Structure 1
Amino acid sequence: MAEINLVEAVNLALAHALEHDPDVLLLGEDIGVNGGVFRATAGLQARFGAARVMDTPLAEGGIVGAAIGMAAMGLKPVAEIQFTGFIYPAVDHIINHAARMRHRTRGRLSCPMVVRSPCGAGIHAPEHHSESPEAMFAHMPGIRVVVPSSPARAYGLLLAAIADPDPVIFLEPTRLYRLFRQEVADDGAALPLDTCFTLREGSDITLVSWGAMVQETLAAADALAGEGVTATVIDVATLKPLDMQTILESVTRTGRCVIVHEAPRTAGFGAEIAAQLADAGLYSLAAPVQRVTGFDTVVPLARLEYTYLPGVARIVDAARKAMAA
């Protein structure tokens, strides 16, 4: 079993899907000859041909619009948006067509497509390259939103997304692409969508996160253990539909919850989790839910980037505040 990083896991999953399903095809800017800006599709055009791994013009609306047409006719396109900050021209197609295809046709057509895009800060990128817009997509009925946090979950969740009969927004944390390696079997085994993953069990507090921030959250759990506080760590993974039951069951045991994400605080997806905890788990809570998030600003340039991103110290402080209540 090979040890690979997250971007290699994405490549491996795409290759497996292309090899085993003739309806799968890839399209996006520079994904073919160049293998993508992060090399997530490196070698795939040479292996599967330009008819299945297609370079497109620099036109995000055109990429997603074409993918919707392909999906409606029974293909399974995987469209890459080079950076998530460039996805907004395609949002019209995603909202008004991809997300509504099944509803609009009363089930006659579905839209089995995936829109992949690197997301998030932490690589010293310029403006428009560091957004975390998962809450915006989670607000749209008719699509799934998936954010992997490790190579193994990227591989299994991407295969599941490609097999899904409805559109999936698959956001890949750029900071994790080459951060660490993990053993991943290229066995074609998909991981379940719409399911949270419990990474660590503890009895004192529940820490909830997704994507790149799972790494800081796990490190915060280690720091809290040194203070005698045991934390359950939950990786949400699929934000929409949300597996709220796993979170509720954990908070019922621990009585305290800290939610961590790097997107801005206002209307971030953490607010939805907190609201559902208030609706269904209020009497289990021994303290107010804490949120540790990015700030309500554009992600700053390199010098201040890690001031913007939630760090271990901020997560630990929020946990201490919850424990003291």
Structure 2
Amino acid sequence: MSDTQTKTAPASEEGTERRLNMIEAINEALDVTMSRDDNIVVMGEDVGYFGGVFRCTAGLQEKYGKSRVFDTPISECGIIAAAVGMGAYGLRPVPEIQFADYIYPGLDQLISEAARLRYRSAGEYTSPMTVRSPFGGGIFGGQTHSQSPEAIFAHVSGLKTVIPATPYDAKGLLISCIEDNDPVIFFEPKRIYNGPFSGYYDKPVQPWKKFDASIVPEGRYTIPLGKARHATEGEELTILAYGTMVHVVEAVCAEKGIEADILDLRTIVPLDIEAIEESVKKTGRCLIVHEATRTAGFGAELSALVTERCFYHLEAPVERVTGFDTPYPHSLEWAYFPGPIRIGEALDKILAE
């Protein structure tokens, strides 16, 4: 993990920096890439004139026209199938699935077609598509607008799965995804679209120790896929998280005075296993936090990898704090989230070992 990715923002083409929220950073990433490559097209439900339900594509149709930013029928299977064909033809489609919960009708196209196209064609064709989708809770959307299905896609060989936690990362990672020659699932944590919050209440997270992650350079810059970022550095334990949970664990550790090595994974496929191994061997303890359900969640894979690679360095069992194995609740959303109480209890347990 290079210092340029953990401590300072890289120089951009214009060399200036501004504070943006994640929505603005995503919009800018799309704008930057579309201005450089006429083969990039944005498609999805309400992404054109309306600018997307969360406004991530606002203004793009007016700037680039209806042939490059266009609305689609309400057919997730059709959206992704069309994107697979566009990619094979030579375009770089960026389809938006309005909520991650709606992505399931398109699974066959993603798994059977997009993920396997390079291998099935012996490298003759690729599927350079980036599927953007808001995921996770935070808007009281319940069972059909709040799911976190990242583990499904992590299981599929041929797909990359990316989850930013900051505006700075959102822009740099999205540009990398769009320019990548393989299919990528880009999940956007909608709970932090407008800024980081933690716990059961809207309490701003402590300032980032390395750099202000809301400062986003103008122009093009990229963040390599498969490189984790140290949100904070510490000696007491390692915490592995991604998306919204990076902010939550940082806030809990700050409140409890715990100096944790918090790794924002950024991408779960490819995974920066070297950074994880280095951190766990340094601290001897590991806590994994994610919003998705516990059983067969990506935290189980992380726990297995840590145990396989760091067993003789562990001073306590690996702990997980996750969503519950239940349908996603509307009214009990804040109880479902891993929050200060459950994370705090896990921290106390693991540090007492």
Q: Which amino acid aligns with 1:272?
A: E
Task: Indicate the residue corresponding to 2:301 in structure 1.
Answer: 272
Give SS of 1:232's match.
Answer: strand
Cα drift, residue 59 of structure 1: 0.5
Cα drift, residue 122 of structure 1: 1.3
Please point out which of 314, 318, 325 is paired with 2:342.
Answer: 314
Q: Which amino acid aligns with 1:97?
A: E
Please point out which of 229, 245, 258 is paired with 1:197.
Answer: 229
Distance (Å, rounded) in 1 between the aligned partners of 2:222 and 2:239: 25
Distance (Å, rounded) in 1 between the aligned partners of 2:138 and 2:221: 30
Distance (Å, rounded) in 2 between the aligned partners of 1:312 and 1:247: 23
Q: Which amino acid aligns with 2:282?
A: R
Task: Indicate the residue corresponding to 2:276 in structure 1.
Answer: 247
Task: Indicate the residue corresponding to 1:76 in structure 2.
Answer: 92
Correspondences of 1:27-176 after superposition (within 5 Å): 27-176=43-192
Distance (Å, rounded) in 1 between the aligned partners of 2:88 and 2:139: 36
Cα drift, residue 210 of structure 1: 0.2
Please point out which of 297, 304, 310 is paired with 2:332.
Answer: 304
Distance (Å, rounded) in 1 between the aligned partners of 2:215 and 2:234: 25
Matched, 1:288 2:304: no
Distance (Å, rounded) in 2 between the aligned partners of 1:20 and 1:298: 43
Contact 2:130 2:186 in 1 (8 A): yes
Cα drift, residue 241 of structure 1: 1.4
Matched, 1:216 2:248: yes
Give SS of 2:173's match.
Answer: helix
Give SS of 1:127's match.
Answer: helix
Contact 1:259 1:290 in 2 (8 A): yes
Contact 1:224 1:231 in 2 (8 A): no
Q: Which amino acid aligns with 1:184?
A: V
Cα drift, residue 208 of structure 1: 0.9
Distance (Å, rounded) in 2 between the aligned partners of 1:109 and 1:91: 20
Structure 1 segments unaligned to the other structure (5+ residues) = none
Cα drift, residue 126 of structure 1: 3.9
Give SS of 1:87's match.
Answer: helix
Q: Which amino acid aligns with 2:98?
A: Q
Distance (Å, rounded) in 2 between the aligned partners of 1:219 and 1:166: 35
Contact 1:207 1:259 in 2 (8 A): yes
Distance (Å, rounded) in 2 between the aligned partners of 1:267 and 1:162: 29
Cα drift, residue 2 of structure 1: 2.0
Give SS of 1:95's match.
Answer: helix
Structure 2 segments unaligned to the other structure (5+ residues) = 1-16, 197-212
Contact 1:265 1:296 in 2 (8 A): yes
TM-score, normalising length: structure 1: 0.97
Matched, 1:8 2:24: yes
Distance (Å, rounded) in 1 between the aligned partners of 2:143 and 2:240: 28
Give SS of 2:249's match.
Answer: helix
Distance (Å, rounded) in 2 between the aligned partners of 1:191 and 1:272: 24
Contact 2:142 2:328 in 1 (8 A): no
Q: Which amino acid aligns with 1:196?
A: A
Cα drift, residue 189 of structure 1: 0.3
Distance (Å, rounded) in 1 between the aligned partners of 2:282 and 2:179: 35
Give SS of 1:148's match.
Answer: coil
Task: Indicate the residue corresponding to 2:291 in structure 1.
Answer: 262
Cα drift, residue 313 of structure 1: 2.3
Give SS of 1:78's match.
Answer: strand
Please point out which of 156, 160, 184 is paired with 2:216.
Answer: 184
- What percent identity do the matched residue pairs reach? 47
Give SS of 1:26's match.
Answer: strand
Distance (Å, rounded) in 2 between the aligned partners of 1:324 and 1:17: 49
